[in-house]
Amino acid sequence: MLDFLKSTVGRKYIMGLTGLVWMGFVLAHMAGNMLILFSTDAFNAYGHAIVSNKPLLFVAETVLLLTLIVHVTTAISLTIENRAAKKSRYAVQPTGVKSTSWASRNMGFQGSLILCFIILHLITFKYGAHYETTVNGVVMRDLAKLMFEVFTQPGYVIWYVVCLILLMFHLSHGVHSVFQSFGFLERKMQAGLKTFAWIYALIVVGGFLSQPLYVFFIHQ
């Protein structure tokens, strides 16, 4: 088993598996947050429901944190080895039919920024200002208020938009790559898979983008 984990192929599976956990998470996170567009109470109630289920929250947070750490450390180890394997870069970069997508070539860069984003995101929201509100007689955290506060600041919105676009590239290649790593890719699925990966990335990022943009342009 150790051989498997040390091999390039094995670590590819690890990257894919941990990536898959986060793919599911961002999709769910995006879907839940869409409530902000419809009702602040519903949004707050949804957030409250999640934090109220302590065991579930603990499991979810632990899984997310662990997979993130594994994803990042594996990525770092692979990047170091891959740089060493390449020895030197070419004087000229490929063009035309033999070039590759920007997303696929810059997963490390995107990932690094996304990691920063995640940390700042947690500081801003999870550990940010604690407002309270009452929905249907239950006292709960007013996350919507915090969200409105944050997303009315142009700097924040721009930072979010940039990071989300990077996430879109990261996901588009990641989803494609995960099926590659897992060995699901059959000849007839090849063309469809790239499209699928992009649709998924667009849905997730489009959803997420709609939230700050809604707040910034419409809600206020």
Which chain residues interact with other proteins by CB under 8 A? 1, 3-4, 6-13, 78, 81-82, 84-101, 104-105, 107, 173, 176-177, 179-187, 190
- Least distance to other proteins, CB of residue 3, Å: 7
At 187, the amino acid letter reads R
Q: Which is nearer to other proteins, 10 or 128 (CB)?
A: 10
Q: Which is nearer to other proteins, 39 or 104 (CB)?
A: 104
Q: How far apart are CA 76 and CA 79, in angstroms?
A: 5
- Least distance to other proteins, CB of residue 84, Å: 6
Q: Which residues, in sequence order, are bridge partners of residue 132?
A: 141
Chain position carrying tokens 């519903």 = 42
Q: Which is nearer to other proteins, 44 or 74 (CB)?
A: 74
Q: Which is nearer to other proteins, 176 or 216 (CB)?
A: 176
Backbone angles phi, psi at 139, to 5 degrees: -80, 130
- Least distance to other proteins, CB of residue 165, Å: 20
CB atoms within 10 A of CB 194: 15
Quote the tokens at residue 130.
Answer: 């604690």
- Least distance to other proteins, CB of residue 189, Å: 9
> In this structure, are residues 37 and 138 in contact, taking their beta carbons and an 8 Å threshold?
no
Determine the 3-state secondary structure of 130 from DSSP: coil
Q: Which is nearer to other proteins, 183 or 206 (CB)?
A: 183
- Least distance to other proteins, CB of residue 45, Å: 41
> In this structure, are residues 40 and 140 in contact, taking their beta carbons and an 8 Å threshold?
no
